[in-house]
C-alpha cells in the first residue's frame, strides 16, 4: 500500500509521529468500540474486546500526554508501553500492551526515530512477543494478524531494489494491507464474523500507516485509510451472523469460570514463575511487562481460571486485583437456585441436605419465594427480556471490596466485580472495567470506604460530572477510560466482609431496572438485622469462639456465618457448628444454618455474623 500525492513523508517514525498515531488510534478505538465488542467470541464471548482495547490505548495516550514534548522516540514508545501495561484490560488489552512493549524495545536503540529497517524489526518483535505472551497460542486470531503484518513488512524490505528503498510509510502500508487481508481470512474460523482482537490490532496498524502517510509529518490526519478499514469491518459485521447468535451457537474456547487481573511488581524470574503457576490453574494466561535496569518490573497479569485464589501470586507485590465471573450464575440472572454450586464448607451431616449453594444465596432465594423484598411481580425470579444496549443503559455495576482472598469466588458469583485489598487506583480500575453509567461500591471497612471516596474525588478532578455519596457525605467522580458522560459512583455503608457478602447477594438480581439509590438501600437493608462480632488473639481461640456463638444466638436466628482469618485455628469452624447445634437442642428450636468460610484475611482472626 503506497500512498501517492503531494506530501513530505517522514524519514523515520519519530516521537511527533508516535503522538499523532496514539491520538488517531484512540479516536478509532472510540469510534469502533461497539463494533469490535460485537465481534468478540474468542476466547470468551463476553463482548468486551473493543472496550478493553479502548481502555488500554486511552491509558497509553494519557501517559504520553504527560511526557514532555522534547522527549525522543525511545522515551515516547516506552511511555506508551508502560501506560498500556498499567491500563491493560482483558486478554486483548494485554496483547496490545505487549505489542507496544515490543515496539519500545526496538525503539530503545533508535532514540531519534525508527528507520524502515528498524520498523520492520518492530513488526517482527510484535509478532514474536505477542505469540510468546500467550500460554496456548491459537491461529486465526490477533497473533496471526501480527505475524502476517510482519511477514509483509519484511518481504517489502527484502525485495526492494537498492536504488529505490522503501520508506517507513511504505513499510507501514504493506503491514497494514496484510493485516487487513489477514483479518478477513479469520472469518469462518469460529471466532465470530472476524476475530475481534485481530480487527483491533489491524486498526492500530492502519492508523500508523495513516500518520506516516500524512502530507505534513506529525500532523493530525483524518485517517482516510483507517476509515476504509472501519467500513470494511462494518460491512463484514452486516453480512455475518449476529454476536448474540454466535453466543448461542457454540461454547467458548476458554474453560475458566473467572477472569483474574492485577498489577504485579516483581523480578523477571518471579514473573516467569508466576506464568508457569497460572498455566497450571487456567488458560488465556498473560504476564506482560519488562524489568528495569535493576531487574524489577511492573507486570500486567491476566488469566481465566476456575480457582481464582490459586491465581494470586506467591511472591512479589500485587495490587488492583480484580476478579470477574465470566458467565452469569443463577443468582446473578435471578433464576431459581438449583444444585450445582460449590458445597458448603464445614457443613454438618444434618445440614448437608440443605443444598449446594452458598448460604446467603439460599437465604435470599428463600425470602424471594416468601414474597420478601422487591421484584415480587417476577414470580419466576427472571428478568423481563431487553436488548443488550437497553439493559446496559439501565444497569448498575457493583464493586465488592474484600480483604479475604477466600471470599473472592463467592462474591464474584453474585455478578459483582471483586476488588481484593482495595485502594484508590483499584476502585478506579474496577469502575473503568464496568463502563456503566452507575456504580455501587460495597466497602469492607472504613479504609476501603475512604479509598472509594478518594477515587471519587480523583475522578471529579477530570471535570466529568458525577456524584459520589455515602454515609459520610458527598463528592463527585467519573471513571477513567471510556466512561459514560454522566456516571454516578455511590459508596454503600457496608463495613465488614459479612455485610459485603450479604449485600452482594441482595443486589445481585436488582442491578437492572433499579435506581442507584434504591440499590444502595437494598444493600444496607441486607445487613441491618445482622449482628457481627470480630475476634482476635485469645478471643479467637476455638473454645472462646464457641462460647461467643452460644451467647449471641437467639431462637429466631436463621443463619450463622463464621469467616476464618489467616491465623485462625483449624478447629474453630467445627466447634462453632457444634455450639450452634447445642444451642438449638437446649431451646428446642430448629438448628440455625451455619456456614464457615476460610476467608484468609489478616484481620480479624474470626468474624462472626448472625442473622
Relative orientation angle of helices 49-65 and 73-87, to the nearest 10 degrees: 140
For residue range 95-113, list pLDDT tens digits in order: 999 999 999 999 999 999 9
Q: Using the predicted structure, report yes or no on whether residue 464 has a pLDDT greater than 60.
A: no
Residue with the bigger pLDDT between 271 and 380: it is 271
Residue with the bigger pLDDT between 216 and 153: it is 153
- CATH class for the region spanning 258-333+360-366+392-463+486-528: alpha beta
Topology (CATH) of 15-237 = 1.25.40
- Cβ(181)–Cβ(1) under 8 Å? no
* Nearest in space to 230 (alpha carbons), one of 192, 191, 204: 204
Q: Using the predicted structure, report yes or no on whether residue 375 has a pLDDT greater than 50.
A: no
- The pLDDT-based confidence of 465 (bands split at 50, 70, 90) is very low
- Cβ(56)–Cβ(85) under 8 Å? no
Q: Using the predicted structure, report yes or no on whether residue 447 has a pLDDT greater than 80.
A: yes
Q: What is the mean pLDDT of residues 153-176?
A: 91
- Cβ(187)–Cβ(240) under 8 Å? yes
Q: Which of 320-334, 378-392, 563-577 has the lowest mean pLDDT?
A: 378-392
pLDDT at 180: 92
pLDDT at 10: 59
- Cβ(553)–Cβ(583) under 8 Å? yes
pLDDT at 608: 92
For residue range 536-561, list pLDDT tens digits in order: 999 989 889 888 988 888 888 888 89
Domain range list for the chain: 15-237, 258-333+360-366+392-463+486-528, 530-610
Residue listed under C-alpha cell 436466628: 557
Highest mean pLDDT among 12-26, 389-403, 457-471: 12-26
> For a pLDDT cut of 70, what percent of the chain falls above it?
77
Q: Using the predicted structure, report yes or no on whether residue 390 has a pLDDT greater than 60.
A: no
Q: Using the predicted structure, report yes or no on whether residue 322 has a pLDDT greater than 90.
A: yes
> For a pLDDT cut of 90, what percent of the chain falls above it?
42
DSSP letters for 245-271: HHHHHS--S---SEEEEEEEEEEHHHH
Q: What is the mean pLDDT of residues 370-394?
A: 49
DSSP letters for 395-439: BEEEEEEES-GGGHHHHHTTTPEEEES--HHHHHHHHHHH--SEE
DSSP letters for 456-509: HHHHHTTT----EEETTEEE----SSS--SS-EEEE----SHHHHHHHHHHHHT
Q: What is the mean pLDDT of residues 456-472?
A: 53
Q: Which of 238-242, 410-414, 512-516, 573-577 has the lowest mean pLDDT?
A: 238-242
pLDDT at 133: 84
Q: Which of 200-209, 510-519, 579-588 has the lowest mean pLDDT?
A: 579-588
Average pLDDT, the chain: 80
pLDDT at 90: 85
Q: Distance between CA atoms of 466 and 81, rounded to whole angstroms?
A: 30
* Strands laid side by side in the 606-610 sheet: 531-535, 606-610, 559-564, 593-598
Extract the C-alpha cell encoding 127: 509478532
Burial class of residue 379 (count of CB atoms within 10 Å of its CB; 0-12, 13-18, 19+)? exposed
Q: Using the predicted structure, report yes or no on whether residue 402 has a pLDDT greater than 90.
A: yes
Q: What is the DSSP letter of 311?
A: G
For residue range 480-500, list pLDDT tens digits in order: 333 434 467 899 999 999 999
- The pLDDT-based confidence of 577 (bands split at 50, 70, 90) is confident
pLDDT at 237: 80
pLDDT at 136: 80
Q: What is the mean pLDDT of residues 447-474?
A: 64
- Cβ(536)–Cβ(604) under 8 Å? yes
pLDDT at 330: 58
Q: Which of 43-57, 396-410, 464-478, 589-603 has the lowest mean pLDDT?
A: 464-478
pLDDT at 423: 93
Amino acid at each position: 500500500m503506497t500512498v501517492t500525492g503531494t506530501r513530505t513523508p517522514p524519514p523515520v517514525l519519530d516521537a511527533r509521529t508516535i503522538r499523532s498515531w496514539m491520538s488517531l488510534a484512540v479516536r478509532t478505538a472510540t469510534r469502533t468500540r461497539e463494533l469490535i465488542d460485537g465481534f468478540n467470541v474468542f476466547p470468551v464471548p463476553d463482548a468486551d474486546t473493543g472496550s478493553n482495547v479502548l481502555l488500554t490505548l486511552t491509558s497509553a495516550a494519557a501517559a504520553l500526554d504527560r511526557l514532555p514534548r522534547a522527549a525522543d522516540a525511545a522515551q515516547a514508545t516506552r511511555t506508551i508501553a508502560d501506560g498500556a501495561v498499567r491500563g491493560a484490560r482483558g486478554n486483548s488489552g494485554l496483547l496490545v500492551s505487549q505489542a507496544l512493549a515490543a515496539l519500545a524495545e526496538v525503539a530503545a536503540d533508535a532514540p531519534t526515530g525508527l528507520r524502515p529497517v528498524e520498523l520492520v524489526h518492530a513488526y517482527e518483535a510484535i509478532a514474536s512477543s505477542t505469540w510468546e505472551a500467550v500460554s496456548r497460542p491459537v491461529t486465526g486470531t490477533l497473533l496471526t494478524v501480527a505475524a502476517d503484518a510482519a511477514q509483509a513488512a519484511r518481504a517489502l524490505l527484502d525485495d526492494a531494489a537498492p536504488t529505490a528503498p522503501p520508506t517507513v510509510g511504505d513499510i507501514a502500508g504493506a503491514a497494514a494491507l496484510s493485516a487487513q487481508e489477514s483479518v478477513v481470512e479469520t472469518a469462518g474460523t469460529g471466532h465470530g464474523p472476524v476475530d475481534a482482537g485481530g480487527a483491533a490490532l489491524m486498526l492500530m496498524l492502519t492508523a500508523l500507516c495513516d500518520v506516516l502517510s500524512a502530507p505534513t509529518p506529525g500532523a493530525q490526519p483524518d485517517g482516510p485509510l483507517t476509515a476504509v478499514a472501519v467500513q470494511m469491518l462494518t460491512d463484514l459485521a452486516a453480512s455475518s451472523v449476529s454476536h448474540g447468535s454466535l453466543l448461542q451457537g457454540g461454547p467458548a474456547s476458554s474453560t475458566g469460570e473467572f477472569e483474574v487481573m492485577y498489577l504485579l511488581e516483581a523480578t523477571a524470574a518471579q514473573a516467569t514463575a508466576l506464568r508457569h503457576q497460572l498455566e497450571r490453574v487456567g488458560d488465556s494466561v498473560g504476564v506482560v511487562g519488562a524489568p528495569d535496569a535493576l531487574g524489577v518490573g511492573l507486570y500486567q497479569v491476566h488469566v481465566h481460571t476456575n480457582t481464582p485464589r490459586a491465581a494470586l501470586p506467591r511472591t512479589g507485590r500485587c495490587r488492583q486485583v480484580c476478579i470477574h465471573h465470566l458467565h452469569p450464575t443463577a443468582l446473578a440472572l435471578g433464576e431459581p437456585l438449583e444444585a450445582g454450586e460449590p458445597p458448603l464448607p464445614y457443613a454438618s451431616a444434618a445440614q448437608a441436605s440443605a443444598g449446594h449453594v452458598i448460604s446467603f444465596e439460599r437465604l435470599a432465594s428463600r425470602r424471594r419465594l416468601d414474597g420478601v423484598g422487591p421484584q415480587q411481580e417476577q414470580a419466576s425470579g427472571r428478568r423481563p427480556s431487553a436488548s443488550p444496549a437497553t439493559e446496559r443503559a439501565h444497569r448498575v455495576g457493583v464493586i465488592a471490596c474484600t480483604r479475604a482472598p477466600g471470599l473472592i469466588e463467592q462474591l464474584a458469583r453474585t455478578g459483582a466485580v471483586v476488588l481484593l485489598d482495595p485502594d484508590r487506583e483499584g476502585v478506579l480500575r474496577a469502575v473503568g472495567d464496568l463502563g456503566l453509567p452507575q456504580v455501587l461500591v460495597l466497602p469492607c471497612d472504613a479504609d476501603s470506604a475512604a479509598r472509594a471516596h478518594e477515587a471519587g474525588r480523583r475522578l471529579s478532578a477530570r471535570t466529568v460530572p458525577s456524584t459520589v455519596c455515602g454515609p459520610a457525605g458527598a463528592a463527585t467522580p467519573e471513571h477513567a477510560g471510556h466512561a459514560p458522560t454522566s456516571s454516578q459512583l455511590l459508596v454503600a455503608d457496608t463495613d465488614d466482609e459479612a455485610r459485603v457478602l450479604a449485600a452482594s447477594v441482595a443486589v445481585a438480581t436488582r442491578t437492572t431496572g433499579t435506581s442507584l439509590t434504591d440499590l444502595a438501600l437494598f444493600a444496607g437493608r441486607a445487613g441491618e438485622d445482622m449482628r457481627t462480632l470480630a475476634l482476635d488473639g485469645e478471643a479467637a481461640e476455638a473454645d472462646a469462639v464457641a462460647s461467643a456463638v452460644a451467647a449471641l444466638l437467639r431462637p429466631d436466628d436463621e443463619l450463622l456465618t463464621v469467616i476464618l482469618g489467616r491465623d485462625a485455628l483449624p478447629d474453630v469452624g467445627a466447634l462453632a457448628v457444634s455450639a450452634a447445634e447445642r444451642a438449638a437442642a437446649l431451646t428446642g428450636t430448629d438448628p440455625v444454618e451455619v456456614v464457615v468460610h476460610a476467608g484468609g484475611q489478616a484481620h480479624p482472626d474470626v468474624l462472626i455474623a448472625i442473622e
